[in-house]
Amino acid sequence: MTPASFDGLGLAEPLRLALKTENYLKPTPIQAQAIPLLVEGRDLLGIAQTGTGKTAAFALPILHRLAEQRRPRTPGRPHALILAPTRELARQIDDRFRAYGRKLHLRSAVIFGGVGQGQQVKALQQGVDILIATPGRLLDLYAQRHVNFDQISILVLDEADRMLDMGFIRDVRKIVAACRKERQTLLFSATMPPDIAKLAAEILRNPVRIDVSPATVTVDRIDQRVYFVPAQAKRDLLVELLADSAMDRVLVFTRTKHGADKVCKFLRHAGLAVEAIHGNKAQNARVRALEAFRNGKARVLVATDIAARGIDVPGISHVINYELPNEPESYVHRIGRTARAGAGGTALAFCDSSERAYLRDIERLTRVSLAVVEHRHTRAERVEAAPHKTPSNKTTSNRWRPERQAAAPAAKQSWRSNGRRGNALPAARGALARPRVARVSLTGESR
Ligand code: AMP
């Protein structure tokens, strides 16, 4: 059972006070399990994705241990190193370290590519206790001798599977090899592909293994539904759904950067406050887009998987998979952006006929059959799947009619996805979207 408070996990008083300020009342399961062991100096293999509270699970014990050790700072020689796949995630981790460590006298810095290195080099020269970095830029600075890893006593590889996907694994290995041997090492990964299992076996010493499996995370708190919809009707469906003001902070995922730009454009055209974030955008543009989403100026953020990796924006009401990811793990990461730290959330998937196999993979991985929402495009989708039938003009050209909204409250009330907890169905607009619920399995059987 998860303890009712952070007392008793072995954390120093200033950290517990900072947690109160953050309004963290109760540790998440990974925090409750990991913190006492990490405070003692154990190595850890954590199977966990963002949204589980894993950042605090490692940041708090690191701060605790470094504060206890009181080692003097030397220029370019940090004591703890956290490697993360993306700049957004790196910044966010740094932000968390600063928040949790606000009552300690420890210094952190964050390093990532895509911006000038001057400020980063300066920060290193001033001396830092904790360094958070993406591997590429860090290795560049290492090659230029701005940083040295011989004082690293705690090393964290965060989102190791994503670092592998992004081609960073060789850089990671080089960095690990340059760290001193006597150290505490933590590796977090949402999945355990063979290359990561091998890396873990090589670099961890007698690690504790903590598994906060994605299936549990997604099944428990996120209301997941799928719309079968022809590719060409996805735009209309998205605009229709977004007409519901209950969708107040919406993250829309596409597979490609180009796709993200296209969705952003037509949503803007439809008069919505929307931003896009993907790998082709300059760092400043990414930061601006994320900030607009965070402070509510943009109600919708369109993102690709890699750019979205570090997004931790509280209160995301809906995640929409405008295009399904071809890797089922990405689906789990995507929908984990809602339902952060114990809150509820809704994840909607748009699945066209070419994406059925992706959906099957997702359902196999999460061991949940998504509830199917029937809507006005559904018939067209069936026709699309069976081209020998003549499409009915009525179903394909029937524009959404706002007057149908009048039926919404009744539809909302009647909607419950097979007893699962969940929000009212945003698209359940009377005749527009009569939900048909598929069998929802929480135990792994398919429909
Ligand atoms: P993470 O999985 O580390 O990305 O954390 C997800 C979100 O949960 C972040 O916004 C954290 O600030 C928040 N969080 C982490 N631990 C707790 C906790 N014990 N209580 C409340 N919120 C938390």
Q: At residue 26, does pLDDT exceed 50?
A: yes
Distance CA 264, CA 334 (A): 18
- Lowest mean per-residue pLDDT among 98-107, 148-157, 185-194: 185-194
For residues 417, 421, 426, 431, the Cα torsion angle rounded to the nearest 10 degrees is 30
Render 146-198 in DSSP notation, one character per residue. Answer: S---TT--EEEE-SHHHHHHTT-HHHHHHHHHHS-SS-EEEEEESS--HHHHH
Residue bearing the bigger pLDDT, 196 or 133: 133
Q: How far is the CA of 80 from the centre of ligand 1 (A)?
A: 21
The DSSP annotation for 122-137 comes to: HHHHH--SEEEE-HHH
Pocket test for ligand 1, best of 24, 52, 60 (most atoms within 8 A of CB): 24
d(CA 438, CA 447): 7
Q: Are 313 and 290 in contact (CB under 8 A)?
A: yes
What does the DSSP assignment read for 260-278? HHHHHHHHHHTT--EEEE-
Q: How far is the CA of 370 from the centre of ligand 1 (A)?
A: 26
CA 38 to ligand 1 centroid distance, Å? 18
- List C-alpha distances in Å: 225 to 55, 244, 319, 348: 29, 16, 11, 5
Tell me if 250 sits within 8 A of 237, measured CB to CB.
Answer: no
Ligand 1 centroid distance, CA of 109 (Å): 21
**Structure confidence at residue 418 as a pLDDT band (50, 70, 90):** very low
Q: Which pLDDT score is estimated for 124? A: 97
Mean pLDDT, the chain, rounded, equals 82
Q: Which of 131, 120, 150, 126 is nearest to 74 (CA)?
A: 126
- β-sheet with 318-321: strand ranges across: 274-277, 300-303, 250-253, 318-321, 345-351, 222-228, 371-372
52 or 443, greater pLDDT: 52
Q: What is the mean pLDDT of residues 390-414?
A: 30
- Specify the amino acid at residue 89: L
Confidence of residue 415 (pLDDT cuts 50, 70, 90): very low
pLDDT at 213: 62
pLDDT at 376: 79
Tens-digit pLDDT profile for residues 63-78: 999 999 999 999 999 9
Tell me 391's DSSP state. Answer: P
What is the CB neighbour count within 10 angstroms for residue 150? 9
Residue nearest to atom 18 of ligand 1 (CA): 24
pLDDT at 396: 28
Q: pLDDT grade, residue 405 (50/70/90)?
A: very low
Q: What percent of the chain has pLDDT over 70?
A: 80
Strand order in the sheet with 44-47: 108-111, 130-133, 80-83, 154-157, 184-189, 44-47, 208-211
Number of Cα atoms under 13 Å in the Cβ half of residue 356: 9
Tokens of 332: 């789990």
DSSP 211-237: E--HHHHHHHHEEEEEEE--GGGHHHH
- Residue range 425-446: average pLDDT? 30
Q: 357 versus 441: which is more confidently predicted?
A: 357
340 lines ligand 1 (CB under 6 A): yes
Mean pLDDT of 370-391: 63
- Residue 191 banded pLDDT, cuts 50, 70, 90: confident
- Ligand 1 proximity of 53 Cβ (cutoff 6 Å): yes
Q: Where are the alpha helices (DSSP H) in 44-154?
A: 54-69, 87-100, 118-126, 135-143
The secondary structure of residue 22, as a DSSP letter, is T
Say yes or no: CB of residue 422 within 6 Å of ligand 1.
Answer: no
pLDDT at residue 2, as a whole number: 67
The DSSP 8-state label assigned to residue 392 in this structure reads P
The full set of domains in the chain, from first to last, is 7-212 (3.40.50.300), 216-249+315-438 (3.40.50)
Given this model, what pLDDT does residue 284 score?
80
Calculate mean pLDDT across residues 4-14.
91
Mean predicted confidence (pLDDT) in 165-171: 88
Judge whether residue 252 has pLDDT over 60. Answer: yes
CA distances from 419 to 39, 95, 438 (A): 41, 38, 12
- Has residue 441 got a pLDDT over 90? no
